[in-house]
Structures are given as structure tokens and as C-alpha cells.
């Protein structure tokens, strides 16, 4: 849907882009340029919010009259943040640690109106229950390459779905963008899809 305001998604994530496209919203992508420091010592919800805000702020200076959306997704297991594995070995360790357990997926999102300065930030949390994983399943999955650059080392919308026993909460949040919450928040900025 065409809104009167220019909307910018400050993300290089193809999954976020696709989820937002599925709403019918007219927007542009301008990849955020900020570091995702997961070792700041902040509580996970605050950290996800902080990084989402930094992502949105990193592109704000380019637009004088636009709505900027930033988002960041992190996993939390036993109170400890699990980020994205950088190597196959890190992916194996991560998958071994989440196997047979429940972990949280938290997405922070921030919306900034560059004309008024109005800013809204929030988080959405989903519980994900992973089945017991055998070493063979972990190795086969890591060989696909899918776990790399994914929070928690799996993609729920891909082959990683084979490991998910159940979820409690927003599925799209686990993919990387809590569509329902985000669309409701955008209404505060005069942006409507339907």
C-alpha cells in the first residue's frame, strides 16, 4: 500500500525485507551500518532495543522526512545471549546447546520519524522448543550452510524447521520481524496497511 510518507527499512536482512514486502507496504531498503555488540552486559530485551535503535539512527541522517525502521533479533538460552555463529564449529556448538531445550527469541524494533523526531522502540519475545539433536543431524545441517549468520544457528523458515517441536508466540518474530507488533506501532506514525 502506498502511504504519503517515505518508509525506510534499515536492514540488510533478506528475511526482514521479505516479511515487510508481504504486508504490501511500500518501502525502500537502506542497510544499517552499526556494529552489533552482544557483549555490552545489557539485559537481552534492552540490548535488542538498543541495537535496533542504533540501526535506525545509522541511516536517519540521510532522510529529512521519512519513517525509519530498525530491527535486531537475538537468541537467549538459560539467560545467556546466543548470537550468530561465525564458523561451522560455532554453529555446531550452538546447535548442541539448544538441542532438547527451550530458548527465547527476542526481536527489538525501533521506528523513527525523521521529520518530528518521534521514536518508538519495543521488543517481542517468542519461546522456541528444539528437539533433541543427534550429532549426525547437527553435522548434516551445518554442512548445508544455513545455520551461519542466523541467530541461534538455525532458520525456522528453512531446514531448521525440522528441529522445532513447538513455539509459543509470534512465528514471524523468530524469522526476524514481529509483523503484527510492528504494523500496530506504525499506526502511531500514520502508516496503515489495510
Q: Give me the active site residues, please.
A: 72
- DSSP letter string, the chain: ---SSEEEE----HHHHHHHHTTT---EE--------TTS---HHHHHHHHHHHHHHHHHTT-SSEEEEEEEEEEEETTEEE---SSHHHHHHHHHHHTTSEEEEEEEEEEEETTT--EEEEEEEEEEEEPP--HHHHHHHHHHTTTTTSGGG--TTTGGGGGEEEEES-HHHHHT--HHHHHHHHHTTT----
Amino acid at each position: 500500500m502506498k502511504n504519503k510518507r517515505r518508509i525506510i527499512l534499515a536492514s540488510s536482512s533478506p528475511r526482514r525485507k521479505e516479511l515487510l514486502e508481504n504486508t504490501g507496504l511500500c518501502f525502500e531498503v537502506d542497510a544499517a551500518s552499526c556494529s552489533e555488540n552482544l557483549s555490552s552486559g545489557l539485559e537481552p530485551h534492552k540490548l535488542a532495543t538498543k541495537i535496533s535503535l542504533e540501526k535506525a539512527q545509522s541511516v536517519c541522517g540521510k532522510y529529512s522526512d521519512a519513517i525509519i525502521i530498525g530491527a535486531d533479533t537475538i537468541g537467549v538460552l538459560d539467560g545467556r545471549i546466543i548470537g550468530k555463529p561465525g564458523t561451522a564449529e560455532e554453529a555446531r556448538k550452538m546447535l548442541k546447546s539448544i538441542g532438547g531445550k527451550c530458548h527465547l527469541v527476542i526481536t527489538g524494533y525501533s521506528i523513527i520519524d525523521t521529520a518530528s523526531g518521534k521514536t518508538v522502540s519495543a521488543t517481542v519475545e517468542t519461546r522456541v522448543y528444539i528437539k533433541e539433536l543427534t550429532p549426525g543431524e547437527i553435522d548434516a545441517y551445518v554442512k548445508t550452510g544455513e545455520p551461519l549468520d542466523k541467530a541461534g544457528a538455525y532458520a525456522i523458515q528453512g531446514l531448521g524447521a525440522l528441529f522445532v517441536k513447538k513455539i509459543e508466540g509470534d512465528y514471524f518474530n523468530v524469522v526476524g520481524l514481529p509483523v503484527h507488533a510492528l504494523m500496530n506501532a506504525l499506526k502511531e506514525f500514520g502508516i496503515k496497511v489495510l
